[in-house]
Amino acid sequence: MEKTPLSDASKMELPTIVFATHNANKVEELRQMLEGYYRVQSLTDIGCHEPIVEDADTLAGNARIKARYVKDHYGLDCFADDTGLEVDALGGQPGVKTARYAGEDADSAANMNKLLKALQEVQADQRTARFRTSICLIQGEMEVLIEGVCEGKIAREQSGAAGFGYDPVFLPEGSNCTFAEMKPQDKHALSHRGRAVRKMVDDLLASFD
């Protein structure tokens, strides 16, 4: 059943939930999805500027570290995400090290170049991979782990100028376009993060039944 947002008169009393990120674009996306139900704040909004060390060996572990840090140090309900690219021909790498595959200070171009070089001799039917997003949601005493997965393949070369990260080399299952060649709304409908976020939003809005 479609949810009905709180009235304008009640908006000052919206519950606050923190998205454990400094990424303004990601925060704005969630604000739109939760408008009328929650006041979504970023780490910047709550004054959390200290580094949060993400040293877990799983995506879910890193998401939990960030969410638990906010809850324990600021006392606010929150959620955090972490995303990894798992390439079958590389035994699941880069996985939890996706953002720093080519080194701690590497950028997206360096990461993609290393990946394409590693797969240079790998045939098309063996280039299977998936993006996986893990979200940790903490509300009061409740802690929930949510996951979204998008299966696909690694292209032989970069294509497209949209998106970020590995988008120019990832071909989602059933498509001949990389994420970087898609319109944002088309990517969100298919993407790992979009799927995980929609599951989380459903969980959050369930409390308004």
> For the residues 57-78, what does the mean pLDDT come to?
96
User: Which among 77, 81, 82, 167 is annotated as catalytic?
Assistant: 82
In a domain, 103, yes or no: yes
CATH of the domain at 60: 3.90.950.10
| Segment holding 201, helix H or strand E | helix 192-206
In a domain, 29, yes or no: yes
* Residues paired with 83 in a beta bridge: 133
In a domain, 106, yes or no: yes
Q: Number of structural domains, the chain?
A: 1
In a domain, 45, yes or no: yes
Q: What is the pLDDT of residue 9?
A: 40
In a domain, 184, yes or no: yes
82 is catalytic: yes
Q: Amino acid identity of 114?
A: K
> For the residues 39-51, what does the mean pLDDT come to?
96
Residues 81, 65: Cα–Cα separation, whole Å: 10
Residues 70, 177: Cα–Cα separation, whole Å: 38
What value does the mean pLDDT of the chain take?
90
Q: What are the φ and ψ backbone dihedral angles of 156, each rounded to 5 degrees? A: -80, -20
Q: Is the Cβ–Cβ distance between 84 and 94 less than 8 Å?
A: yes
Residue 15, CB-side half-sphere exposure with 13 Å CA sphere: 13
In a domain, 3, yes or no: no
In a domain, 1, yes or no: no
Encode pLDDT of 127-136 as tens digits.
Answer: 999 999 999 9
Identify the domain containing residue 66 by its residue range.
8-206
In a domain, 131, yes or no: yes
Residues 39, 42: Cα–Cα separation, whole Å: 10
| Segment holding 153, helix H or strand E | strand 142-154
Residues 194, 153: Cα–Cα separation, whole Å: 18
Encode pLDDT of 173-187 as tens digits.
Answer: 999 999 999 988 888
pTM of structure? 0.84
Encode pLDDT of 13-43 as tens digits.
Answer: 899 999 999 988 788 888 888 889 999 999 9
Token duo for residue 55: 């040293």
